[in-house]
Structure 1
């Protein structure tokens, strides 16, 4: 692994962040931390965007996780050593933990029912956070959440971070099923489900926002770096959104 800790304000010198690792015969991973933080997520997103801007002809695919950037390259066109040298040179150009987020991001405002029979674990989650249900909804609704990564199911975002009170654990048992559009919470994150699925996270809200659109030219609606605000609505308003289209009343605006 490459020791580039001098470029990281977050880690002591012996931590060695960021780290570059080979992945298989045609991939490299740049890891910016071993746990989630806003600066490490920012670095992963910004570095992926920088790779795209660099226009390296050998790079065939890039993606990000919560704190890492992955790139896949053509091993017939460039060696691991040469690709790694390019990556390390780009890493050395700036402090990625303080880098600007990628351009072209959007802010989505998503109408959401909190609690009721549609999302029955709001009270339980709020109690775990030491809050009333009303205060929990207020804090969530006022927090602009970043799409930190896409994973688990097609187009499904992990959103964060919530205030510290929401550092609550997952359940010890699975909820057998939550519907598409469910808003679930744990460990200071929200997941907005793109499919109907079991979960160990607590179901606190429900939307009509459809994130995975298999027949669209862009089947994944949200992208890493986008941001989301959940706008509380009544069950009656939620009912009127049925049949209004896959956005379910959500609206987007460009982020500068």
Structure 2
């Protein structure tokens, strides 16, 4: 059952469920896409999460009651998109050396060889469920069950941008340097957040991702090119 609730005096939240679930995420993204493709006067911003969509509005243009009525109609009329409608990306990751902060510890905890962890990780298909915590930080679904690993008991004070992590049954890509308790098994040279770009956050909810292992020397080259502003990853045709 969909629930529409006020969130202060200039926003409402539309809840589609209570769990991390691809079908719930698809409904969130469908509603957001509907509001972007056919804008409703008075809506100023939308923020998709795992299970809900936060909609900000201007109460001088649109009342909360009218907004709720319009949203109910949009939800009833919306059809859920397939993954073929999503953007697809292959993201390079170095799983070696200093970039593999927790790879060996995760492998030991899961009773695996580190190469098996990498093979499982690169063999999976991930979905961007939401952007949050920090600008451009990508929360991912699709982590193989065999790789599910609890977060660190004591968070690190600084994890680099681009670190590719595991937190329980979730996966993520770090967008900015900062503290974190996630387990990080590799790093990508891709810049997930750049305020100079027209769209500062590289990913958006609904994107589909696969990871590709690269050696340290390629990582160094891509790091250099990305630092110069080169776009090192482009959207691909659906797999």
Hey, what does 2:7 align to over in structure 1?
23
Partner of 2:81, secondary structure, is: coil
Hey, what does 2:67 align to over in structure 1?
83
Kept after mapping to 2: 8 A contact 1:174/1:199: yes
Partner of 1:91, secondary structure, is: helix
Q: Tell whether 2:45 aligns with 1:64.
A: no
- In 2, Cα distance between equivalents of 1:89 and 1:199: 40
Give 1:139-154 correspondences, 5 Å limit: 139-154=120-135
Hey, what does 1:197 align to over in structure 2?
178
- In 2, Cα distance between equivalents of 1:225 and 1:242: 26
Correspondent of 1:180 among 126, 149, 161: 161
Hey, what does 1:6 align to over in structure 2?
none
Cα 1:247/1:112, change in 2 over 3 Å: farther
Q: Tell whether 2:19 aligns with 1:35.
A: yes
Hey, what does 1:250 align to over in structure 2?
233
Hey, what does 1:238 align to over in structure 2?
219
Q: Tell whether 2:33 aligns with 1:49.
A: yes
**If the length of structure 1 is used for normalisation, what is the TM-score?**
0.84
Partner of 1:146, secondary structure, is: strand
Hey, what does 2:103 align to over in structure 1?
122
**If the length of structure 2 is used for normalisation, what is the TM-score?**
0.90
- In 2, Cα distance between equivalents of 1:133 and 1:102: 30
Kept after mapping to 2: 8 A contact 1:62/1:71: yes
Cα 1:74/1:254, change in 2 over 3 Å: farther
Q: Deviations over 1:44-85 (max 9, x none)?
A: 111111222332112121110111111112212222222111
Q: CA deviation at 1:20?
A: 1.0
Partner of 2:77, secondary structure, is: coil
Cα 1:229/1:89, change in 2 over 3 Å: same
Higher helix share goes to which structure? 2
Kept after mapping to 1: 8 A contact 2:148/2:166: no
Give the root-mean-square deviation of aligned CA atoms: 2.1
Partner of 1:244, secondary structure, is: helix
Hey, what does 1:108 align to over in structure 2?
89
Kept after mapping to 2: 8 A contact 1:156/1:194: yes
Partner of 1:158, secondary structure, is: strand
Q: CA deviation at 1:164?
A: 1.6
Q: Deviations over 1:78-127 (max 9, x none)?
A: 22222111111222235x6xx11588642221211114232131121233
- In 2, Cα distance between equivalents of 1:141 and 1:103: 20
Instruction: Count the aligned residue pairs.
Output: 237
- In 2, Cα distance between equivalents of 1:170 and 1:29: 29
